[in-house]
Every structure is written in C-alpha cells, then in structure tokens.
Amino acid sequence: MKNLSLFLLLLAALALPVAAQQSNTGADQAAPAAQTNLPPLTDQKPTDFWDGDDPNLANLLAHPFANKAYVRRHTQPIRDRLNELDQLTSEQATMIKDVDSRSQKGLQLASEKESLADQHATDASTKAQTAQTAAHDASTRVASAEQMVNGLDQYKGSAQTEIRFRPGQTELSKTAKDALDQMAVPLNNQRSYIIEVRGFSPGQGQAGIAASQKMAESVARYLVLTHNIPVYRIFVQSMGNAAPEGDGTAARHATSARVEVSVLKNDLVSTAQR
C-alpha cells in the first residue's frame, strides 16, 4: 500500500504540468483565431555567418567551413576565374612579346635600309667626285693639248753652226766634224727640236744648187750616222748662190761654199712633256 501511494503521488506530480501545458496550448490556439487581421508567421532561414548554429566549439568543428569539400566547392569558381585571368595574362604577354619582336625586326630592317641608303649615297658621292675629277683632268689635258697644237710650229733658234768647204769639195773636214759633234751631243735624249741644214755654193744656176745640195746632205748624213739623230728631225735645203739671211741686201750672192746648221727648239712642247 505504501508503494502504491508513492506511485500515485508521482503520477499526480507529472500530470499537473501536462495539464497546465495543454491549457496554455489551447489559449494560444484560441488567440490567433480571435485576431484574424494579422499575417501568418513564416519560417525564415537564418542568414548569419553560422547558419543559425550557436557559436560553440561543437558547431564550429561540425560546420561546413571545416569541411575540405565545402571549401573546395566554394573556392573552385574563384580558382577558375584566377586560371582564366592567368590565361588571359599569358596571352596578352605573348601578344606583347610578338608585337615587340616585330617592332624590333622592323626597326632593325629600317636601320639596315638606312645604312644601305647611306652607303649608296656615299658611293654615289664618291663616283660623282671621281667623275668631276676625271672631267677636270680631261679638261686640263684638252687645254694643254690645244696649247701644244697651237705651239707646234713655234720653234726658236737655240744654236747655229757654220761648216765651210773648199771649192769643189763635199766631204767634211776634221774641224767641221768637231763643230758638228759639239752641236749634236747636247741633243741626246731630247725631243721637240728640229735641225735645219742649208747649203750655199758660189756656183751659178743648177750647178750651184747641186753643189749646195751635196754639202748639206753630207752634213745630214754625219748627224744621222754618228749621233743617231732621226732623219725626220733634219730638214735639208739647197740654197745655191742665194744670199744668206741677215746680209742686209738681196742682190748679194754667196761667195763661199758653206753649210749653215741651225737647231730649232719648241720650248712650249718641251714644258708640256715634262
């Protein structure tokens, strides 16, 4: 009986809170029925950092932020964006490098063309100067040649030797040869000169001309054979009994057999040849 009493008391103690809770629940259900103008309450999803979990150690360890898969799932878009940005950056760097390489090649090609143009200009200038120098030299040579041609017949007497012969004789004496040697030796290795040989004879007519011709030819022969004077430089004239130049009268005739040897030089041609 004692135990039964204790059980009943315990049951009554437990029944009282339950009855109170049911009464409260009925009151709460009656209140909304009376206030029909208020909107119904909706279940709002927590949006705070912890998704509605209490910030304690257990929830911290069990929260999805502590899960690698959760972190990977939320950080994967960021990684993809970063990879895309890296790819764009790499492409931009490649394009910039390509543009820079082409620019360097263009600058190098332009520099080479500029150097080639400068070289061509220098070559053209050198050729122009060479042509100008050649033209100036040609003009100088033409002027010198014109001056030489104009002075070809301007010979001046530099020496005169008289060779005397006995009447009827055409051979040279030792004195005559010595005089011709003294005149011809300085002419060795010289140019632009001529030798005029004129023979005079006291004979009349053709006889005098023939005698003067033989005397003049003997003198010319000696100069050619002994002193190697070219024949084209010796001009022989048979004067007969004509009066020599410088006697002062044209009526006076030659009174002795002789040959006048005159050396004529062209100083202008000699100067040009030097």
Per-residue pLDDT at 81: 85
Half-sphere exposure of 112 (CA within 13 A, CB side): 6
174 or 17: which carries more pLDDT confidence? 174
In a domain, 247, yes or no: yes
Cα separation, 90 vs 226, in Å, equals 104
Split into its structural domains, the chain has a count of 2
Per-residue pLDDT at 261: 92
Q: Which of 106, 126, 146 corresponds to the end of one domain?
A: 126
C-alpha distances (whole Å) from 215 to each of 73, 106, 184, 238 are 142, 93, 18, 9
- The predicted model gives 106-126 an average pLDDT of 89
- The predicted model gives 207-220 an average pLDDT of 90
Q: What is the average pLDDT value for the chain, to the nearest integer? A: 75
pTM higher than 0.75: no
**Other residues' Cβ atoms within 10 Å of the Cβ of residue 71:** 12
Nearest to 197 by CA among 206, 208, 184: 184
Counting beta carbons within 10 angstroms of the beta carbon of residue 224, is it exposed (0 to 12), middle (13 to 18) or buried (19 or more)? middle
Give the confidence band of 48 by pLDDT, cuts at 50, 70, 90.
Answer: very low
Give the confidence band of 196 by pLDDT, cuts at 50, 70, 90.
Answer: very high
Cα separation, 177 vs 156, in Å, equals 24
Give the confidence band of 32 by pLDDT, cuts at 50, 70, 90.
Answer: very low
Per-residue pLDDT at 50: 46
Per-residue pLDDT at 30: 45
Judged against a pLDDT cut of 70, whether residue 163 lies above it is answered with yes
Nearest to 163 by CA among 228, 256, 72: 256
Q: Are residues 186 and 265 in the same domain?
A: yes
Per-residue pLDDT at 220: 92
Per-residue pLDDT at 34: 43
56 or 174: which carries more pLDDT confidence? 174
Cα separation, 222 vs 178, in Å, equals 11
> Do the beta carbons of residue 218 and residue 180 sit within 8 Å?
no
* Residue 44 DSSP symbol: P
Q: Are residues 163 and 255 in the same domain?
A: yes
Q: Are residues 177 and 266 in the same domain?
A: yes
Please report where in the chains the tokens 């999803």 appear, as a residue: 45
78: containing domain: 51-126
In a domain, 183, yes or no: yes
Percent of the chain with pLDDT over 70: 62
Q: Which secondary structure element, helix H or strand E, spans residue 166, and what is its range?
A: none
157 or 219: which carries more pLDDT confidence? 219
Q: Are residues 181 and 251 in the same domain?
A: yes
Per-residue pLDDT at 218: 92
Half-sphere exposure of 222 (CA within 13 A, CB side): 24
Cα separation, 219 vs 180, in Å, equals 8
- Stretch among 42-51, 114-123, 230-239, 263-272 having the lowest mean pLDDT: 42-51
Q: Helices marked H in the chain — which ranges?
A: 2-34, 57-62, 68-150, 174-184, 205-227, 267-273
Half-sphere exposure of 72 (CA within 13 A, CB side): 3
In a domain, 173, yes or no: yes
- The predicted model gives 73-87 an average pLDDT of 84
